A and B are shown apart, each in its own frame.
Chain A
Amino acid sequence: MDTDGKADAGLLERSRRIKTAAELGLARSSRGRHWSRALLLRRRLLISKEETTTTTRAAVEVEKLGVEDEPEEKMLQARVRTLQRLVPGGEEIMEAERLFEETADYIEALQEQVSAMRALACLLHGFQRTRGGS
């Protein structure tokens, strides 16, 4: 790929747009779900999405909460908080069971999205190969 330096910014921008479109499609694909509504709202208001960090947030959360009595409970709470942050619109969900429901649905939708994007990438890659060969 030539002009990598110049195209990098454009690439990033385009990839972000692709991702946005993917998210929109994802959100629209399962309506009536809290996380999908939150995702759409987020897009609409152009809130910059939190980048998922590589470090596990649970550790961060535990530090925030401090070591109090019942460390096990705190660990659980920390993890629940982390999950709340991961699932779009999760912070508004108070009860654990609803959060888990939304998480399950979100996971399913994400799986579908990943497989679709992967298939699409494979398809386009195949095109490139045939085109490059001719």
Chain B
Amino acid sequence: MLRGQLQCLSPRFLLFCSFPSSAASFSILILILLLLRRRRRRRLSELKNIAFSPFACFSRRFFVSGMEKERFFGGGWKSAHAGLLPEVSAFAGDEHLPHSFVGFGWEQPVHGQEAHAQQLESALSSLVSSPSSNAPDGNDSVVIRELIGRLGSICNSGNVSPSSRCHSAHASYYSTPLSSPPKLNLAGADHQRQRMLVNQVAAAPFLADQGFAERAARFSCFGAAEAGQLSRVSSRQSLAKEVAASYAMMAGSSSSPEASSASEKLTAVVAEHNARKRKAAPKGKGKAAAPSSSSAMDPPEEENSDSKRCKAAEAGGADKDAPVKPKTEQNSSDDGNAKPPEPPKDYIHVRARRGQATDSHSLAERVRREKISERMKLLQDLVPGCNKVTGKAVMLDEIINYVQSLQRQVEFLSMKLATLDPQLEFDTETLLSKEMHQVHVPLPQQVLFPLDMATSAFSLAQLPLKLAENPPDSMFSSLQLPPIDHLANLWEDDLRYVVQTGFPQSQEAPFSSGALRAE
């Protein structure tokens, strides 16, 4: 059983094990160790207690459940270890530390869960103690960051594993964001949220380290976001809450109010993840938010702007650099438990520029204009050939032309499809009734052409030329559309409308129906 799971999990953890990805997920111990460095030994004992207790509960809860993952790390991926260890050691000057830690962390799990947990804690202790003895600052922190992130990834995967089956979807989820952690172009609005959580989690003592903060957020968000998105089970939320609680613990006892609110936000964001459907198109443009916010700002103000940005990201899915009012109307359907409980929600912090009026009206007006110009920039990116034109009117003209041309193309293509395949029939009443009754059972008699454009776009767009040469019989076998699986997870209901073989008479019909059935 576990071996089967190992097989399933292997592609996913291949990506996890790749070095850049591990770089992104070492935040938990980073917190501990940074605290260590900043506060010298005064807090060492305190930190040890703090660090070990959440890690204890992490390990107990998540390692037990995610046992196969550690085994995977330890056993199935020995080659990756060989690759990892030199990488890690190459990354920093200090060789003893990473080796010992990695040795503890990765070779041991094969032997037993409890043993692994204890190994982890002993590794933690060695890590915690060694930096105090070691002089260099920079190298260690980097290395330790990597290791911590890897640990965090274990916890993450422990988070995800209990109720997630081995979806190949996971691979895609992980690959897209994790393959490029140094850049900030992560997929989806999660990136925005991660940055929120960066700021929240790292608020109190860790503001100085921006890169670490990013990674912390990424790690936490990946755990939370993955947990939230991939399987919408209620237990997921409880797990996420536990994660958030332990984050709050680890973020430092001194900053407990902020940490608790941060954990609340984390939970809320996770819940919001559960509620929302994620868009596949990456919209990671708001990079400026993270650097500007994680550089030393006051925690409360930071949290204000973060909560606003958080809500903005949740609400719009678009990136806003300036703090904006929460847009509730767009999320009226998703909003059940999404909003984090932040009292100063509706304030917009805008800085008045030199030489400009500072009364509230003009400020609001300026904010509004900035928002509009931001949207226009977004549209400019979408519409091809719009970069050269300047001025709102011309841009609007271009946009209008583009929308009109797209709509005309749709009409033309529908006409063409009608001519191409005379057997294509569309039962629009059925589709409408389906829409109204939310029925997910595919109808047997009628021929439904779901033509779920967004999904079939991904699959069919790659296939047309290749399949044109194949004879129709082999078409069925060659129509392996791997992206469909996780796309199906994304657009859950839409792919339920399976094309039924409603063409009893004609010969050509099975081709198209079979082709569509394969989707």
Q: Does A65 contact B (CB under 8 A)?
A: no
Query: In the complex, what residues of A have CB within 8 A of residue B425's CB?
Result: 14, 17
* A75 CB to nearest chain B CB (Å): 5
* A101 CB to nearest chain B CB (Å): 6
Cβ A29 vs Cβ B420 within 8 A: no
Interface centre among A17, A33, A87, A119 (most CB of B within 10 A): A119
Cβ A26 vs Cβ B453 within 8 A: yes
Query: In the complex, what residues of B have CB within 8 A of residue A124's CB?
Result: 417, 420-421, 512
Query: In the complex, what residues of B have CB within 8 A of residue A86's CB?
Result: 400, 403-404, 407
Query: In the complex, what residues of A have CB within 8 A of residue B421's CB?
Result: 124, 128
Cβ B404 vs Cβ A116 within 8 A: no
Cβ B464 vs Cβ A113 within 8 A: no
A43 to B27, CA, bound (A): 50
Interface of A (DSSP majority class): helix
Interface flags, B421-458, vs A, CB<8A=1, else 0: 10011101001100110000000000001111111110
Q: How many B residues are at the interface, by size bracket?
A: 35 or more
* B498 CB to nearest chain A CB (Å): 14
A111 to B453, CA, bound (A): 10
Interface centre among A32, A44, A108 (most CB of B within 10 A): A32
Known: A108-B382, A116-B456, A120-B451. A14 touches B372 (CB 8 A): no
A112 to B428, CA, bound (A): 21
Cβ B411 vs Cβ A19 within 8 A: yes
Cβ A32 vs Cβ B449 within 8 A: no
A11 to B451, CA, bound (A): 18
Interface residues of A (CB under 8 A from B): 1, 11, 14-26, 28-34, 40, 43-44, 52, 56-58, 72, 75-76, 79-80, 82-83, 86-87, 96-98, 100-101, 103-104, 106-131, 134
* 26 A-B pairs whose Cβ atoms sit less than 8 Å apart in the complex: A11-B419, A17-B426, A17-B428, A25-B454, A26-B454, A28-B435, A32-B276, A32-B330, A56-B401, A57-B400, A83-B400, A86-B407, A97-B375, A100-B378, A103-B399, A107-B403, A108-B382, A109-B454, A113-B457, A116-B451, A116-B460, A117-B413, A118-B413, A121-B413, A122-B465, A126-B469
